[in-house]
Chain A
Amino acid sequence: MTGREPLLDADDLRVTFRPGGRELRAVDGVSLQVLPGETVALVGESGSGKSTVALALMGVHPLAGGRVRFEGRDVTAAGGAERKALRRRMQLILQDPYGSLDPRWSVARILAEPLVAHDVGTPEERAARVRELLGQVGLPLDALERRPPQLSGGQRQRIAIARALALEPRLLIADEPVSALDVSIQAQIVNLLLDVQRTRGTSLLVITHDIALVHHVAHRVVVMYLGRVVETGAVDDVILRPQHPYTAALISAVPARRAGGARQRILLPGEPPSPLEPPAGCRFHPRCPIARDRCRIESPPLAPAAGGGATACHFPGELGALPLARDERLA
């Protein structure tokens, strides 16, 4: 970590749901930090709690424990006016641009809404800002009068991004921002997000299951499994030298984009268990290829690991990186 003060500092977050009276710890002691201008990727499979973290940070889910600091101030219990002020500086982009935009509203109205809600500028200034936003996300002005159903998926996601940028936030939280889009469109949106970050210094927290995307966009990675952080560190350390066996397996599951299947794969047995009944000890132990007795009993804490990151494993690095084959660097 550099000496910079984190923009977002979430410590020991806990979110608990009670479906049918049973306790479900969706997020169970997750800490993460995002520095100014940094991209952090929060990675996990379905049920890992990664999206719940995003919603908890935005104040959508109440916290059962933990603390959130933003720009150095404790905003854990922020509500009302304070929460509203916070939303100017912290914005969310969701996966599904079909569901996150009101189909009856024009693009102009969608983009002006945050400005109106926060009482920014005169109507003329707002209209000018809306046009500017549209240009920023690479859409023509004639999109202003269209409605979401008249736009393609990629165009809709651009509108969602433009709306999130309207108030010039310092932090963008993007939950699976490209997974609903075709490959050729994904690249447009990823480049747009990277461009926003480069030109405006916006911090990004990208929530995704896509390891190749993580590798491409993130500076640092936080890997979650069943509500907990199992590994965190600089992107190259985590991807080239994963310390946790789950991280190693996730990386090895990325299709190699080359034929022959010559790459070694770590095939995990089974599927992530239900967060309603997390396994005792290390939550990953039932699927872990190197689990031993200790793992079945004792839950490993997140501890500093080789390479400067941290991992929650009793035997870090044992099931390490499978080298990326040379010929994966297809030009």
Chain B
Amino acid sequence: MSTPDAPHAGGTARAAGKPVPASSPVGSPALDLQDLRVDFPTPLGEVGIVDGVSLSIARGEALGMVGESGSGKTMIALACLRMVPEPGRVAATRLRVADRDLLALDEPALCAVRGADVGVVFQNPMTAFNPVRTIGEQLAATWLRHRPAGGARPSRREARERAIAALREVGIAAPERRVDAYPHQMSGGMLQRALIAHAMINQPALIVADEPTTALDATVQAQILDLLRARLANAGLLLVTHDLGVAAEICDRVAVVYAGRVVEVGPARELLESPRHPYTQALLAAAPRLDPERRPLAPIPGAPPSPADLVAGCRYAPRCPRAVPRCGERPRLAPEGPHAYACWNPADDARRAKP
């Protein structure tokens, strides 16, 4: 764990360790999502932004959801909060966070879930906080709002103490002073820490983080990723990002999304070392990396399809070098098991191919 300005911080630290949650997973999965669809009506008819996505995240597990702009990854994240904007329509056969069925809840009940069972960290912490209230007030309000009914109403002082403790847990130095700061008085990295504190203050079962480090500098990004991983404890994390490297660095599993569908999902390391879906392979080959060999970058031909303009069957087929006639038929995620891919002509298993 790094803290921004505590004296012991700095130096070499191991990057965030792998799962081993502090306490053993309890209860139902953090997220259980089956066959999610998000449709938007357009003059040309319904457009499916998300088309049959199933994901599950265990307690203490981090799942990275990787995709390019327009892939629908943010819509999937919003659906987990039942916050898909109007006129979008959400349908699923199952959408459960911990033991709550989000499909069965009305808006007031959903408000009770958001901030309590699901915490959220957005990309831009500058706009996520209300600029005219202090950080402490906003953390305290979220804590107070979700105290169980019937019990003794906690005092404001107690709420303030909770806010200070939450800020301390995310490595903000002098939290008893910072609790009274307004958002504009904090740096981007510190605000993102405060936003994580806000997301975690009610110990949610699921944390949804949408590009939480994209607005931050490289050295600060490393701090925030480590913090998210280190503070996860018993919650599940859905990390939405465009950067496969970021996802693989802190997540146990990675799901790759293309044009509203999951095309490959698997343990992070396996996905990077032996991607089977041609799109995952192409994403890896397109990004520069610190590789002494400096392979030329391999761009993906064409551009992601617009949601109004999708082909039948595999949506990646028009850009895919491995496309076969059968790609006109929709591929399902297979095989059963931790590493699955939706492809009729998957790449060879790179790990088996090695001598």
Binding site for B on A (CB under 8 A): 45-46, 152, 154, 182-188, 190-191, 209-213, 215-217, 239-240, 249-272, 287-289, 322, 324, 327-331
Contacts and interface: CB of A to CB of B under 8 A. Distances in A.
A264 B291 CA distance: 16
B244 A267 contact: no
Contact of A184 (B11, B249, B282, B288): B282
Contact of B219 (A186, A239, A250, A260): A250
A206 to B, nearest CB: 12
A186 B289 CA distance: 13
B167 to A, nearest CB: 15
7 contacts: A45-B217, A183-B242, A211-B218, A257-B287, A257-B289, A259-B269, A261-B249
Contacts of B219: 45, 249-250, 253, 268, 271-272, 287
Given A182-B242, A256-B249, A261-B16, A269 B272 contact: no
Contacts of B190: 271
B78 interface: no
A212 B269 contact: no
Contacts of A213: 288
Contacts of A187: 285-287, 297-300
Contacts of A259: 248-249, 251, 267-272
Interface stretch (B1-9, B33-41, B119-127, B153-161): B1-9
B177 interface: no
B15 interface: yes
Band of interface residues on B: 35 or more
A270 B224 CA distance: 11
B299 A188 contact: yes
Contacts of A288: 10
Contacts of A253: 218-219, 221-222
A254 B290 contact: yes
Contact of B299 (A191, A239, A251): A191
A216 B218 contact: no
B15 A263 contact: yes
Given A185-B299, A259-B248, A239 B4 contact: no
A191 B287 CA distance: 11
B27 interface: no
Most buried by A among B187, B251, B290: B290
Contact of A331 (B246, B267, B350): B350
Contact of B289 (A252, A260, A328): A328
Contacts of B6: 269
Contact of B218 (A45, A329, A330): A45
B299 A209 contact: no
Contacts of B101: none
Given A184-B68, A191-B296, A255-B245, A330 B288 contact: no
Given A185-B303, A261-B17, A270 B4 contact: yes
A329 to B, nearest CB: 6
Interface string B20-39: 00000000000000000000
